[in-house]
């Protein structure tokens, strides 16, 4: 614990002093954590002392100080790890194996607009509809009253685009009094701009001649591949995730038809990193280093390694809205449907079939839905394992079968990629006008399926939890998948030496 605490203190101070070195901070945090697991107690004490000196040296450096949002420069170059060679406000562009010429998710931490408290993360060309749009996602302080504009340089011409929209994506959660919120910004492209040509995008505020350049992802304009069926976006993962359960979760979703997983990695440590690297090597998963969350945590004065979901206002939940929308728009032209769930949730059809089969049936019944929403049942570990289970202990979903009744609270979506502009973790927020989409459709769980949400304990208020914990019933859906799930999970656990 002492070495982990010292690592925690050092990396947090390092991030505070150098907020744009968030990727370096995460690397150091993981390195210290791995070392601490193999050191004897005496060496841990030595590392603790050394870490203390490093912290003091950072604090004593007269050139280093805490930076406010206004202190962060817009264009000054910096370098992080030599292997990454990232420059501030300059993205690393690498070819995508599935879309040659498309931009990879690797990028600088954030793009600040004209020294205001507007921090952009990513921008996308959207050619799905009759008009073409630029879609941008980032974080904005409520104290900013100016509305950003887009400037496109293409074919030797500079054009200021007409604004389509600028609004907070989910402003009321978890409080309508938040200072920083996730924002969507939209701009309309003129019809005479050829979307297949190279374009440079900059974002600026009224009264400024120059703005900040941000890479424009043009997957839609250059990919020629036929869309695949189903991808899964995970908003963010952090900490020491249970590696065995992560394998089970991935294999269960693969069994249900998920073709690709997109993980936004904030600060994952431990053996779960080996799991993610394995699935990346199999081209089943893509792990995006989401250092934007760490940078924003510093600006919000949040402890990025402890305050996830722990602070009263949960500001980082707004940051995760950015990762979800980034994931959706990065893949909207490569997949027909995108599922948004956390790693403790699984959408399971009531009858033994794939998610795609369920969505095809739902589409026949509700053809104009932007998203198909599945209600939720909670599997609390407090219920205990079921008696007489024949499932191996490493299969959590087959051991903790007791659950609450299915309710419409905290549902999760499978989104039609033609029917959404912005999303949150429960549904589509905005959808295109004049294209016949009817919005989110909550599916009858008895015929279609529901979310199995696995939690250690009930997190609602005591009176509600007391009622929920009295209603435990044994789930009859999950055991239908045991025979196929067990060998898949066992194979990967053996490969990774987790059993």
The tens digit of pLDDT for each residue in 66-89 reads 333 333 333 322 222 222 222 222
Strand pairing category for 149-154 and 157-160: antiparallel
b/e code 225-248 from CB counts within 10 Å (16+ = b): eeeebbbbbbbbbbeebbbbbbbb
What is the number of other CB atoms lying within 10 angstroms of the CB of residue 366?
13
Poorest-confidence range of 104-113, 374-383, 398-407?
A: 104-113
Q: Can you tell me the distance from the alpha carbon of 387 to that of 364, in angstroms, rounded to the nearest whole number?
A: 40
For the segment 124-152, the average pLDDT, to the nearest whole number, is 92
Count of residues in the chain: 499
User: Quick one: tokens of 166?
Assistant: 């600028």
- Residue 286 pLDDT: 96
Measured N-to-C along each axis, helices 291-299 and 315-331 cross at an angle, to the nearest 10 degrees, of 150
**Above 80 in pLDDT, residue 13?**
no
Whole-number average pLDDT of the chain? 80
426-468, pLDDT tens digit by residue?
A: 999 988 876 778 889 999 999 999 999 999 998 888 888 888 8
- Residue 225 pLDDT: 76
Q: In CATH, what is the architecture of 228-495?
A: Alpha-Beta Complex (3.90)
- Candidate CATH numbers 2.40.128, 1.20.1300, 2.60.40, 3.30.70; the one for domain 111-222: 2.60.40
Would you kindly state where each structural domain of the chain is located, as residue ranges? 2-65, 111-222, 228-495
To the nearest whole percent, how much of the chain has pLDDT over 70? Answer: 74
252-289, pLDDT tens digit by residue?
A: 999 999 999 999 998 888 999 999 999 999 999 999 99
Q: Can you tell me the distance from the alpha carbon of 372 to that of 414, in angstroms, rounded to the nearest whole number?
A: 5
User: Quick one: tokens of 407?
Assistant: 């309710």
- Residue 371 pLDDT: 96
Q: Is 151 helix (H, G, I), strand (E, B) or coil?
A: strand
**Residue 61 — pLDDT band, cuts 50, 70, 90?**
very low
For the segment 153-177, the average pLDDT, to the nearest whole number, is 84
**Above 70 in pLDDT, residue 40?**
no
**Above 80 in pLDDT, residue 409?**
yes
pTM listed for this prediction: 0.82
Give one word for 436, left, alpha or beta, with left for phi > 0 and alpha for psi -120 to 50.
left
For the segment 45-54, the average pLDDT, to the nearest whole number, is 56
CB 257 within 8 A of CB 355: yes
Burial of residue 442 (number of CB atoms within 10 Å: 0-12, 13-18, 19+): middle
CB 474 within 8 A of CB 386: yes
**Residue 392 — pLDDT band, cuts 50, 70, 90?**
very high
Q: Can you tell me the distance from the alpha carbon of 29 to that of 55, in angstroms, rounded to the nearest whole number?
A: 13
Taking the alpha carbons of 407, 408, 410, 412 in that order, is the dihedral positive or negative?
positive
Q: Could you identify the residue written with the tokens 């979800």?
A: 324
Poorest-confidence range of 50-59, 175-184, 463-472?
A: 50-59
- Residue 337 pLDDT: 97
- Residue 48 pLDDT: 54
Measured N-to-C along each axis, helices 291-299 and 22-38 cross at an angle, to the nearest 10 degrees, of 100
C-alpha separations of 449 from 18, 245, 339, 446 in Å: 47, 22, 14, 6
- Residue 324 pLDDT: 95
**Residue 60 — pLDDT band, cuts 50, 70, 90?**
very low
State the number of CA atoms in the 13 A half-sphere of 285 facing the CB: 24
**Above 60 in pLDDT, residue 390?**
yes
Taking the alpha carbons of 464, 236, 262, 33 in that order, is the dihedral positive or negative?
negative
329-338, pLDDT tens digit by residue?
A: 999 999 999 9
**Above 70 in pLDDT, residue 249?**
yes
**Above 60 in pLDDT, residue 179?**
yes
Q: Does the bond joining 437 to the residue before it have cis omega, within 30 degrees of 0?
A: no
**Residue 100 — pLDDT band, cuts 50, 70, 90?**
very low
């Amino acid at each position: 614990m002492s070495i982990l605490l010292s690592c925690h203190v050092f990396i947090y101070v390092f991030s505070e002093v150098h907020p744009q070195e968030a990727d370096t901070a995460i690397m150091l945090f993981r390195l210290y954590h791995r070392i601490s697991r193999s050191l004897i107690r005496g060496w841990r004490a030595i590392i603790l002392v050394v870490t203390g000196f490093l912290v003091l040296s950072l604090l004593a450096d007269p050139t280093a100080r805490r930076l406010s949002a206004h202190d962060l420069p817009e264009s000054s170059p910096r370098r992080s790890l030599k292997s990454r060679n990232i420059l501030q406000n300059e993205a690393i562009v690498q070819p995508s194996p599935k879309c040659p010429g498309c931009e990879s998710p690797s990028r600088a931490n954030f793009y600040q607009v004209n020294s205001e408290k507007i921090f952009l993360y990513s921008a996308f060309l959207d050619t799905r509809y009759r008009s073409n749009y630029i879609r941008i996602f980032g974080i904005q302080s409520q104290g900013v009253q100016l509305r950003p504009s887009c400037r496109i340089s293409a074919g030797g011409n500079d054009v200021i685009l007409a604004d389509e929209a600028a609004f907070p994506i989910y402003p009321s959660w978890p409080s309508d009094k938040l200072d920083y919120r996730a924002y969507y910004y939209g701009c309309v492209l003129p019809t005479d701009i050829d979307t297949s040509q190279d374009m440079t995008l900059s974002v600026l505020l009224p009264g400024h001649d120059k703005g900040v350049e941000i890479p424009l992802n043009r997957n839609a304009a250059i990919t020629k591949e036929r869309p695949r069926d189903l991808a899964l976006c995970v908003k963010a993962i952090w900490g020491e995730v249970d590696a065995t359960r992560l394998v089970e979760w991935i294999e269960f979703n693969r069994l249900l038809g998920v073709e690709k997983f997109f993980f936004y990695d904030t600060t994952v440590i431990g053996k779960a990193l080996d799991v993610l690297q394995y699935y990346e090597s199999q081209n089943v998963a893509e792990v995006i280093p989401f250092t934007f969350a760490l940078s924003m945590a510093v600006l919000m004065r949040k402890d990025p390694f402890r305050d996830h979901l722990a602070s009263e206002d949960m500001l980082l939940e707004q940051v995760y809205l950015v990762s979800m929308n980034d994931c959706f728009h990065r893949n909207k032209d490569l997949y027909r449907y995108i599922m948004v769930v956390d790693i403790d949730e699984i959408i399971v059809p009531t009858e033994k079939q794939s998610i795609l089969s369920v969505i095809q049936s739902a589409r026949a019944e509700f053809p104009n839905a932007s998203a198909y929403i599945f209600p939720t049942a909670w599997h609390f570990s407090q219920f205990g394992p079921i008696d007489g289970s024949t499932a191996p202990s490493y299969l959590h979903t087959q051991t903790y079968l007791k659950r609450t009744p299915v309710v419409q609270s905290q549902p999760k979506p499978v989104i039609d990629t033609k029917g959404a502009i912005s999303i949150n973790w429960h549904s589509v927020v905005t959808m295109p006008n004049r294209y016949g989409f009817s919005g989110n459709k909550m599916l009858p769980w008895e015929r279609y399926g529901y979310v199995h949400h696995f939690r250690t304990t009930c997190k609602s208020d005591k009176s509600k939890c007391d009622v929920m914990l009295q209603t435990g019933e044994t789930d009859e859906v999950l055991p239908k998948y045991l025979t196929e799930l067990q060998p898949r999970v066992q194979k990967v656990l053996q490969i990774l030496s987790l059993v």
